[in-house]
Amino acid sequence: MRYKSKGNIREYIMKMSNIASKLKVLKLELSDDLLVHLVLISLPTHFGKFKVRYNTQKDKWVLKELISHCVQNEER
C-alpha cells in the first residue's frame, strides 16, 4: 500500500492496521514496531522531514502516536 496524499491520513493508517489485524487471524502477526515502519515507508516524499525526525529520536512511537503526529504533519 502507498499513501497518495488523497483522503485522510488517519483513515489510511487505520486501514493498514485493519489489514494487520486480518493477518493476525491468519497467524501472521505483525509487531507494532513493524506496522509503524510499514506505514512510514509507505508515506510520500513530502513526509521526508517527518520521517527523518522520527528516525533521529530515541523513543519509538506506537500506532496511536504515529497517527497523531501524521495528522499534525498533514495539517501543516
Of 14, 20, 29, nearest in space to 64 by CA: 14
Q: What is the pTM of this model?
A: 0.83
Mean pLDDT value of segment 47-55: 90
Mean pLDDT value of segment 43-63: 90
Please provide the average confidence, as pLDDT, over all residues in the chain.
90
Has residue 71 got a pLDDT over 90?
Answer: no
Of 55, 13, 18, nearest in space to 38 by CA: 13
Asked, for residue 28, whether it belongs to a domain, the answer is: yes
Kindly state the greatest CA–CA separation across the chain: 39
Domain holding 28, by residue range, is 9-75
- Over residues 21-34, the pLDDT tens digits come to 999 999 999 999 99
The 3-state DSSP class for residue 28 equals: coil
Asked, for residue 71, whether it belongs to a domain, the answer is: yes
Contact partners, residue 51, CB within 8 Å, separation at least 6: 40, 43
Counting the structural domains of the chain, the total is 1
The type of residue at 45 is T
Mean pLDDT value of segment 38-53: 91
